[in-house]
């Protein structure tokens, strides 16, 4: 039983990363009908931004020389790192949209998709060129402790990671359901051609969509750094692909769908790995997803959209 | 003149839809453009609301300003031109309330927004009754009311209407047109395009006849209604 609960929290933790990244994929797909294949690498960039921000706050690494006289507690550092990095990474996301995708707004979708792949490669190799090939260890932002719940012990980190990711998912869901900006996103997902007739700049909504997705990807990157404290420039590739799968599974443009599918993916992977040899983990996990998609080709919760895509 | 269109040409790829048309709409008027399927009526409205580009050499002036300098969203917010598109194009995944709020997205005059909402509900009480109903579940007539209501929320100087009579039973059509008359009485100028020539000419003060991308006739509605050519081609003899 203890083992089961341990695996459960492991699955939730892994699912947390997938969920946070998948939401960014799903939003951009929903609002702009675009697969942003650079998103896994935007997650990687977010993790590195988190690394530098937390190092600066703690006066570590290259920032040691600055010796900032900050006597802040670790939990405050974590919160500040999250907020600052999410803000900075949303700027990265907006640049990706502005420079990479906007010029191709009316181009065939395939051109936009390969643009995403190229931006991803530029981010990976750019990181390699600027920061060098060595891996970075993420500063310790949470003092490890074990929490005992009903006789089962969990590490505090895992619980916090799951908690923060669920919180961010729900917050974004509320934003999209209840603010006028969220309403504009849903309108654009339904029929983007008519949105300008409401006096709304589709470019602004596009930028905001990228900003929100990238902010969540930065949160995923930081939480990833808290869980496995090693970053490398290629960390976003496999995570990005898996989160993309979760986004499709969740249904076009559905935040809760993407979140739930992210967690589902975490469960499938972890429980497959406990039963089968670890070499078969991805094989079986993705086999299962293929079967699910055969029965639900539009995923779980996709937003409806208009069939007329011109005025 | 409120709106002056000069030599407007529009093409879709190789197909030329408008061959340099010119017309005017004065402040407070109701003007209609009638024409058969594919004449270019919707294209004319799309060019004014900047949903499609006009070819070089075209000129559109609105209150003396060069309208073609404005992107589509600024035509609504800065110039005050709303467009009720062909087929209504509501956000069917949103409620009536949300559709109306969205149309006021760029406005910050809370009092004005509230007043306009009240006007929409007083002209179309049915919308208020169904305020939290998804637009996709409304009847055709209710959808047309919402489409007009949405335009009232977004801009009030000039309203471009693309076939508001489409798909409506005669009685409901009269309702919608009398609501449009009220809106016009409150100061909104109306440019209407219609296949239903009789309805349009009875409603508008002046009309233009569009034939395969060219304006072939213009005049006061009464004259057009009595014109033998118009009678033959558009009013069923
Ligand atoms: N998106 C498009 N791509 C290519 N051609 C188009 C497009 N939209 C319209 N056309 C063509 O342009 C011409 C004018 O079309 P438009 O929609 O303006 O006609 P209309 O007068 O509004 O007709 P209707 O009464 O049927 O709505 C038609 O020949 C039409 O086939
Ligand atoms: Mg038309």
- DSSP element (H, E) containing B41: helix B41-48
Q: How far is A261 from chain B (nearest CA, A)?
A: 22
A59 dihedral zone (left: phi>0; alpha: psi -120 to 50; beta): left
Q: What is the CATH number of the domain that holds A155?
A: 1.10.3470
- A125 is in which domain, residue-wise? 2-137+151-295
**Using CB atoms, which residue from A180, A199, A308 is nearest to B73?**
A199
**A155 φ/ψ angles, rounded to the nearest 5 degrees:** -80, 145
Q: Which residues contact B99 (CB under 8 A, 6 or more apart)?
A: B90, B91, B135, B146, B150
Q: What is the 3-state secondary structure (H, E, C) of B121-182?
A: HHHCHHHHHCCCCEHHHCCHHHHHHHHHHHHHHHCCCEEEEECCCCCCCHHHHHHHHHHHHH
**Tell me, what's the pLDDT at B237?**
64
The pLDDT assigned to A308 comes to 55
B window 60-79, beta carbon within 8 A of A: 71-73, 76-77
* Residue in A180, A200, A306 closest to B73 by CB: A200
Q: How far is the CA of B82 from the centre of ligand 2 (A)?
A: 17
From residue B141, give the alpha-carbon distance in Å to each of A184, B151, B168: 24, 16, 6
Those residues of chain A that have pLDDT short of 50 are 311
Q: What pLDDT shows up at residue A152?
A: 80
Q: How many A from CA of B29 to the centre of ligand 1?
A: 26
> A258 lies in a domain?
yes
Q: What is the C-alpha separation between B95 and B138, in angstroms, rounded? A: 10
- pLDDT of A60: 73
CB A29 within 8 A of CB A35: yes
Residue B87 has φ and ψ, to the nearest 5°, of 80, 10
Only one residue has tokens 């996990």, namely A285
* Residue A106: per-residue pLDDT: 82
Ligand 1 binding pocket, CB closer than 6 Å = A 310; B 12, 15, 17, 35, 37-43, 86, 195
Mean pLDDT of B88-96: 94
- Residue B200 and residue B224 in contact, taking contact as beta carbons nearer than 8 Å: no
**Residue B200: both structure tokens together:** 């349009």
Quote the pTM value: 0.91
Query: Per DSSP, what are the bridge partners of residue B12?
Result: B15
Q: Report DSSP letters for chain A, one per residue.
A: -HHHHHHHHHHHHHHHHHHHHHHHHHHHHHHHS---TTHHHHHHHHHHHHHHHHHHHHT-GGGGGG-------HHHHHHHHHHHHHHHHHHHHHHIIIIIIGGGTTS-HHHHHHHHHHHHHHHHHHHHHHH-SS-EEPP--S---EEEETTEEEEHHHHHHHHHHHHHHHHHHHHHHHSHHHHHHHHHHHHGGGGGGGT--HHHHHHHHHHHHHHHHHHHHHHHHHHS-EE-TTHHHHHHHHHHHHHHHH-TT-HHHHHHHHHHHHHHHHHHHHHS-GGGHHHHHHHHHHHHHHH-TTTTT-----S----
Q: Please determine, for residue B137, whether its predicted confidence score (pLDDT) is greater than 80.
A: yes
How much is the ipTM here? 0.93
The answer to whether residue A301 is domain-embedded is: no
Q: Do B91 and A190 touch (CB under 8 A)?
A: yes
Supply the DSSP string of A258-273, one letter for each residue.
HHHHHHHHHHHHHHHH
pLDDT, one tens digit per residue, over B105-136 is 999 999 999 999 999 999 899 999 999 999 99
Distance CA B210, CA B197 (A): 11
The residue nearest atom 25 of ligand 1, judged by CA position, is B37
DSSP string over B209-235: EEETTEEEEEEEHHHHHH-HHHHHHHS
Q: Please write the tens of the pLDDT for every residue from B168-193.
A: 888 888 888 999 999 999 999 999 99
Average pLDDT, chain B: 94
Please, which residues have CB less than 5 A from ligand 2, an ion? B 42, 86
Q: How many domains does chain A have?
A: 1
Tell whether A99 is covered by a domain.
yes
Cβ separation of B92 and A190 shorter than 8 Å? yes
The reply to whether A47 falls in a domain is yes
Give me the residue from B91, B105, B136 closest to A199, CB to CB: B105
* Residue the block writes with tokens 């910050």: B108
Whole-number pLDDT of residue A68: 56
B82/A183 Cβ within 8 A: no
The CA-based angle A137-A143-A146, given to 5 degrees, is 120
SS3 B184: helix
- For residue A200, give every residue at least 6 positions away whose Cβ sits within 8 Å of its Cβ, in sequence order, or none: A184, A187, B73, B102, B105, B106
Q: Is the pLDDT of residue B213 over 60?
A: yes
Q: Which of B36, B14, B13, B26 is nearest to B216 (CA)?
A: B36
- The residues that bridge with A229 in the sheet, in sequence order, are none
Residue A108, in any domain of the structure: yes
Any domain includes A111: yes
Give B146-173 pLDDT, tens digit per residue. Answer: 999 999 999 889 999 999 988 888 888 8
CA distance B164 to B149: 12
For residue A303, the model assigns a pLDDT of: 63
A142 domain residue, yes or no: no
Say yes or no for a CB contact (<8 Å) between A198 and B103.
yes
Closest-CA residue, ligand 1 atom 5, reads: B12
CB proximity under 8 Å: B 190-229 to A: none
Q: What is the pLDDT of residues B20-65, one digit of tens each?
A: 999 999 999 999 999 999 999 999 999 999 999 999 999 999 999 9
Instruction: List Cα–Cα distances, A100 to A31, A104, A210, B40, B47, in angstroms.
Output: 16, 8, 12, 35, 28
Asked whether residue A104 is domain-assigned, the answer is yes
């Amino acid at each position: 039983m203890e083992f089961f609960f341990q695996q459960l929290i492991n699955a939730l933790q892994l699912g947390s990363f997938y969920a946070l990244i998948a939401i960014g994929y799903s939003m951009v797909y929903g609002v702009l009908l675009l697969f942003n294949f650079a998103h896994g690498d935007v997650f990687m960039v977010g993790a590195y931004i988190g690394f530098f921000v937390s190092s600066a706050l703690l006066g570590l690494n290259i920032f040691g020389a600055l010796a900032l006289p900050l006597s802040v507690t670790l939990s405050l550092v974590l919160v500040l790192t999250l907020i600052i990095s999410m803000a900075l990474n949303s700027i990265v996301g907006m640049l990706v949209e502005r420079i990479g995708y906007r010029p191709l707004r009316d181009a065939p979708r395939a051109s936009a998709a390969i643009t995403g792949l190229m931006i991803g490669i530029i981010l990976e190799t750019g990181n390699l060129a600027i920061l060098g090939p060595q891996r970075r260890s993420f500063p310790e932002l949470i003092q490890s402790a074990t929490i005992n719940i009903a006789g089962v012990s969990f590490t505090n980190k895992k619980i916090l990671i799951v908690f923060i990711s669920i919180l961010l998912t729900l917050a974004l869901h509320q934003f999209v359901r209840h603010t006028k900006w969220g309403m504009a996103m849903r309108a654009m997902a339904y029929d983007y051609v008519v949105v300008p007739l409401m006096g709304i700049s589709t470019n602004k909504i596009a930028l905001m969509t990228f900003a929100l997705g990238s902010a969540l990807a930065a949160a995923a990157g930081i939480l990833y750094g808290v869980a496995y404290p090693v970053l490398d420039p290629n960390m976003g590739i496999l995570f990005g692909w898996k989160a993309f799968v979760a986004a499709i599974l969740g249904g076009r443009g559905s935040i809760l769908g993407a979140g739930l599918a992210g967690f589902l993916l975490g469960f499938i992977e972890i429980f497959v790995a406990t039963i089968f040899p670890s070499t078969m983990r991805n094989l079986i996990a993705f086999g299962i997803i293929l079967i699910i998609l055969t029965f639900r080709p539009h995923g779980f919760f996709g937003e409806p959209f208009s069939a007329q895509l011109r005025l | 003149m409120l709106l002056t269109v000069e030599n407007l040409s529009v093409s879709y790829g190789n197909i030329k839809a408008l061959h340099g048309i010119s017309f005017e709409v004065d402040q407070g008027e109701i003007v209609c453009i009638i024409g058969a399927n594919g004449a270019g009526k919707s294209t004319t409205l799309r060019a004014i609301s900047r949903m499609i580009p006009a070819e070089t050499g075209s000129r559109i002036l609105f209150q003396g300003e060069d309208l073609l300098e404005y992107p589509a969203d600024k035509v609504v917010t800065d110039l005050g031109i709303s467009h009720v598109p062909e087929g209504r194009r509501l956000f069917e995944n949103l409620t009536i309330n949300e559709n109306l709020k969205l149309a006021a997205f760029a406005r910050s005059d809370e009092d004005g927004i509230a007043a306009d909402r009240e006007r929409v509900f007083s002209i179309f009480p049915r919308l208020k009754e169904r305020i939290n109903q998804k637009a996709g579940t409304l009847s055709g007539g209710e959808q047309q009311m919402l489409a007009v209501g949405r335009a009232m929320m977004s801009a009030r100087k000039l309203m471009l209407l693309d076939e508001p009579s489409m798909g409506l039973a005669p009685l409901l059509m009269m309702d919608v047109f009398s609501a449009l008359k009220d809106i016009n009485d409150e100061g909104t100028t109306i440019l209407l395009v219609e296949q239903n020539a009789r309805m349009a000419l009875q409603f508008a003060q002046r009309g233009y006849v569009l034939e395969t991308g060219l304006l072939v006739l213009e005049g006061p509605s009464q004259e057009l209604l009595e014109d033998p050519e118009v009678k033959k081609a558009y009013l069923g003899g």
